[in-house]
Chains A and B, each alone.
Chain A
Amino acid sequence: MSEMSAGPAAPHAFVLSPGPHLHVEESTRRIMWWVNGALAPAAIWGVYVFGWNALAGIAASIAGALGAEWLGARMTGRRTTLADGSAFCTGLLLALTLPPRLPAYEAFLGGVFAIALGKMIFGGLGFNLFNPALLGRAFLMASFPLAMTSGWATPRNWFGASLDAVTSATPLAVIKEHGFAAGLAVITSPAGFWNALALGFRPGSIGETSVVLLALGAGALLARRILTLTIPLSVFAGVAIATWHTGVMPIHLMSGGLWLGAFFMATDYVTSPSTVNGQVAFGLLVGLLTGIIRVYGGYPEGICYAILIANAMAPAFDLWFRPRRTAPAGTPS
């Protein structure tokens, strides 16, 4: 993904040039701010449902990411790229995966790590091997395991009722610990089954809970063709295959950070394969690993590590699923 810029202004009214004639409309900057806008509803909803702690976490994570981006660009003598929205996007995505009651300074450190060691050290935008936001999350999981797995807040009730900062486990964590029935009880206790799973009135990370709002944002990006459905659908297929035998496949498909990860993280242009077949294989790998980690692994949610592992495989997928040559063999390319 390269920054596209207009050439020097032509002195004549008409410029004759051989084809192909490309009409450049999209740029990194436009795409990134569209992604940020698409994430905004879920983020605002997270603040509404979980309270001001969530806002502090989001602000701190974005501040950390922007600070690291500015400092990294300064230290390496590169052009500052703050305005292109990519660092903002990393900070926002990271924040949406964090528990609402995580201390703000820890979210800040996560943002710094994500950009400094996840992106700038590889050479900046377009050169990173792994999704920076998820690297930030993995770093926070390793550094603050307690806060990262117990900082959940009980969600606000369906418009109205008090917001007590009582910690409670996420549905996936309860299913992991106490079985499916207990998990269902957690989901339905404040607001009922569909309210919980679709609207997000359930304990969880700041931005993961409302499937409807995530789908809305993803729909806007699909309409603008910033996203395609190839990777997200493959991810869902992979999760469905891996959790089929558990009998609660719909819960797995509707819960956790799956929607956030499948639409907004696995689809990162830089860290996913570029051919359609490669993207299918990549998405299936993400989904299968997510399901396997959720069902058999040590963590209740596995999308973060699944995407990071698949990121490492992305160059291999690009190699194994090369685009077919359309020109006859022997034609100079």
Chain B
Amino acid sequence: MSAHGTTPAVSGPPPSPWQLLVNGILTENPVFRLALSLCPAVAVTTTVLNGLILGVAVLAVQVLSSMTVAIFRGVIHPRVRIPVYTIIIAVWVSAIDMTLAAFAPAVYAQVGLYVKLIVAFAIIISRLEVFASRQPLVPSFFDGLGMGLGFLLALVTIGAFRELLGNGSVLGYHVLPSQPLLFFALPAGGFFSIALLMAFFNWLERARGGKPAASGGSHG
């Protein structure tokens, strides 16, 4: 078993879909609990919209990659599994990248760079390694869905926090006069925003009776 020690039953009977969703969104939220994929979480979340678009792209790639790996897990040789996972992720990232470029060119201009970088997001390959390579299709789908939703929720939350405080607006609509605290729109403020929200999620998890964050110190 890998470093993510609290993943429920990676080799036993699969957990229920509901458990998997809660796990991805709260218990093992990729950004706030596992501290994975922090780079994009800082870089794109200056506005809600940017966070939303990248979150949706990651959600799609995570679900599709998890399902693909779950289907082919019997034929992927363990020794070459990491390159194979990477190729699978790259296929889906390319598909999402072209789809966005074709159907939402304006948004693509904003986040296009980061969409290509989804290939290297730690959270996706981590779920393939920890979960989808050992579980059947349906649980893998819900695990990918939970993790993708958790990431989406994290990015939208951080984006809302930073856009509101840094720019006085939400989704582009100005709700506050001027820019209350420009600091939070700057990169340094991004780190502070994530840290504050992470502290909130840790507190929330403790209030629910959960354990302290399982992982941390991961990069990507």
**A residues adjacent to B (C-beta < 8 A):** 109, 117, 139, 142-145
Residues of A contacting B186 with CB < 8 Å?
A: 142
Q: Determine the distance from Cα of A139 to Cα of B180 in the docked complex, in whole angstroms.
A: 13
Instruction: Return the CB mask of B158-200 against A: 1 if under 8 Å, else 0.
Output: 0000000000000000000000011100101100100000000
**Chain A residues, CB < 8 A from B189:** 142
Question: In the complex the two chains form, is A142's CB within 8 Å of B188's CB?
Answer: yes
Return the chain B residue nearest A106 by Cβ. B181
In whole angstroms, what is the CA distance A117 to B195 when docked?
Answer: 10
Of A109, A142, A144, chain B has the most CB atoms within 10 Å of the CB of A142
- The answer for the CA separation of A145 and B183 in the assembled complex, in Å, is 9
Closest to B188 in A: A142
Choose one: B182, B188, B192; the contact of A145 (CB below 8 Å): B182
CB distance from A98 to the nearest CB of B (A): 16
Shortest beta-carbon distance, A113 to chain B, in Å? Answer: 8
Q: Secondary structure at chain A's binding surface: helix, strand, loop or mixed?
A: helix
Give every chain B residue within 8 A of A143 (Cβ-Cβ). Answer: 181-183
B192: A residues at CB distance < 8 A: 117
Task: Report how many residues on chain B are interfacial, defined by Cβ distance under 8 Å.
Answer: 7
Most A CB within 10 A of own CB, among B183, B186, B192:
B183
Residues of the B chain whose Cβ atoms lie less than 8 Å from the Cβ of A144:
182
Complex alpha-carbon distance, A145 and B185, angstroms: 13
Q: Hey, which chain B residues are within 8 Å of A142, CB to CB?
A: 182-183, 186, 188-189
Q: B residues engaging A (CB < 8 A)? A: 181-183, 186, 188-189, 192
Q: What are 13 sample pairs from A and B whose C-beta atoms fall under 8 A apart?
A: A109-B181, A117-B192, A139-B183, A142-B182, A142-B183, A142-B186, A142-B188, A142-B189, A143-B181, A143-B182, A143-B183, A144-B182, A145-B182
Q: How far is the CA of A160 from the CA of B2 in the complex (A)?
A: 75
Give Cα A143–Cα B179 distance, bound, in whole angstroms. 9
The docked-state distance in angstroms from the alpha carbon of A143 to that of B166 is 8
Most buried by B among A117, A139, A143: A143
Q: Which residue of A lies closest to B192 (CB)?
A: A117
11 new A-B pairs (CB below 8 Å) besides A143-B183, A144-B182? A109-B181, A117-B192, A139-B183, A142-B182, A142-B183, A142-B186, A142-B188, A142-B189, A143-B181, A143-B182, A145-B182
Least CB distance from B163 to A in Å reads 15
With both beta carbons as reference points, the residue of chain A lying nearest to B186 in the complex is identified as A142
Nearest Cβ in chain B — how far from A299, in angstroms? 15
Residues of B within 8 Å of A145, CB to CB, are 182
How far, in angstroms, from A117 to B183 measured CA to CA in the complex?
Answer: 13
Tell me which residues across on chain B come within 8 A of A109, comparing CB atoms: 181
Q: Shortest Cβ distance from B29 into chain A, in angstroms?
A: 21
For the complex, what is the distance from the CA of A144 to the CA of B182, rounded to whole Å?
A: 7
CB distance from B63 to the nearest CB of A (A): 36
Shortest Cβ distance from A142 into B: residue: B183
Q: From residue A251, how far is it (CB to closest CB) to chain B in Å?
A: 31
Docked Cα-Cα span, A117 to B189, in Å, equals 12
A82 to chain B, nearest CB (A): 23
Cα A56 to Cα B36 in complex, Å, equals 44
| Minimum C-beta distance from B159 to chain A (A) | 19
Question: What is the CA–CA distance of A145 and B181 in the complex, to the nearest angstrom?
Answer: 10
Q: Which residue of A lies closest to B196 (CB)?
A: A117
- In the A-B complex, the 3 residue pairs with the smallest Cβ-Cβ separation, listed nearest first, are A143-B183, A142-B183, A143-B181
The winner among B181, B188, B192 for most chain A CB atoms within 10 A is B181
Contacts of A139 in B (CB 8 A): 183
Q: How far is the CB of A173 from chain B (nearest CB, A)?
A: 20
A144 to B181, CA, bound (A): 7
Q: How far is the CB of B68 from chain A (nearest CB, A)?
A: 42
The smallest beta-carbon distance between A84 and chain B, in angstroms, is 25
Shortest C-beta distance, B165 to chain A (Å), equals 9
A108 to chain B, nearest CB (A): 13
Which A residues are CB-close (under 8 A) to B182? 142-145
**Neighbouring A residues of B181 by C-beta, 8 Å:** 109, 143
B87 smallest CB distance to A (angstroms): 41
Collect the chain A residues with CB atoms within 8 Å of residue B188's CB.
142
Report Cα–Cα, A145/B182, bound state, in Å: 9
